Amino acid sequence: MFNFALHRKMVQMKSGTRILLRPLKDDDFDKLMGLFKMIPDEEARTLKHNIKDEEMVRKWCTNIDFDDVLSLVACTEDKIVGDITLHLGKGPYRHTAEIRIVLAPEYRGKKLGMIMLNEMEEVARRMELMFLTSEVLLHQIGLIRAFRRLGYDLRCILDDNFMYPDGTTNDTTILIKRLVQVEHF
C-alpha cells in the first residue's frame, strides 16, 4: 500500500535551484503562510478558501489527515514555494479527487507547476484513483491551457458558479482527467 507520508522527490529547475517535493508537515505553518502572503489579494480571492486566514491555515497544518487531503509542498532551502493538494472523494466518489495548486509568483512560468501536477498525478495513480478533477475560473485561460496540456478534458462551464465575498459571481470550468480506463459491459 502506498504511504504518502513518506513520499519525497528532489527536482532541479533550469536555474539550478533544487526543490524538494514532500508532504505538508505540522511544523510548516510559518513557511506555508509565507507562500500564501506572496499571493496577490486579487488572485487569492479566486481560490476556494481564504489562504490569508492564519487560523484556518494553522488548522490545515495541525490537523493533517492524509485520508482527506494530501498536500504536497515544494520547498527550497528556506521556504515553501508551491502547494498542491488532492481533496479525496468519499463514499461513491472515493475513486476521484479534486486537485488544487498554488505557486509563488516568482516560480510561475518555470515548469514547477507542471512538475507538481505530474507528481500529484503519479500519487493519485499509486492510490488507484480513477479521476482527477479541477475547477478553474473561466477567465483563467493560462491555467485551463496548462491542465489541457496535461490531458484534462474541459467537461463543462457552470455559469455564475463561483461567488466572491462581495457577492459578485464568475463562471467556472470543470476539467477532468481519467487515470484508468474502465471497460463497460
Q: Residue 28's domain is classified under what CATH number?
A: 3.40.630.30
The tally of domains found in the chain comes to 1
Domain membership of residue 174 (yes or no) is no
User: How far apart, in Å, are the Cα atoms of 56 and each of 89, 100, 126, 143, 174?
Assistant: 21, 17, 29, 25, 26
What pLDDT is recorded for position 181? 78
What pLDDT is recorded for position 114? 93
Domain membership of residue 56 (yes or no) is yes
Domain membership of residue 111 (yes or no) is yes
Place 178 in a pLDDT band, splitting at 50, 70 and 90.
very high
35-39, 54-58, 108-112 — which is least confidently predicted?
Answer: 108-112
| Phi, psi angle pair for 167, to nearest 5° | 95, -10
Place 76 in a pLDDT band, splitting at 50, 70 and 90.
very high
Domain membership of residue 127 (yes or no) is yes
CA-based radius of gyration for the chain: 16
Domain membership of residue 152 (yes or no) is no
Domain membership of residue 91 (yes or no) is yes
- Rounded to the nearest integer, the mean pLDDT of the chain is 94
Half-sphere exposure of 158 (CA within 13 A, CB side): 12
Cell of 54: 492564519
Domain membership of residue 35 (yes or no) is yes
Instruction: Give me the domain span that covers residue 94.
Output: 4-133
Domain membership of residue 71 (yes or no) is yes
121 neighbors 86 (Cβ within 8 angstroms) = no
Q: In what order do the strands lie in the sheet with 169-178?
A: 9-12, 18-23, 69-75, 80-88, 96-103, 131-137, 169-178, 153-163
Look at residue 38 and tell me whether its pLDDT is greater than 70: yes
Dihedral sign of CA atoms 144, 35, 21, 8 in order: negative
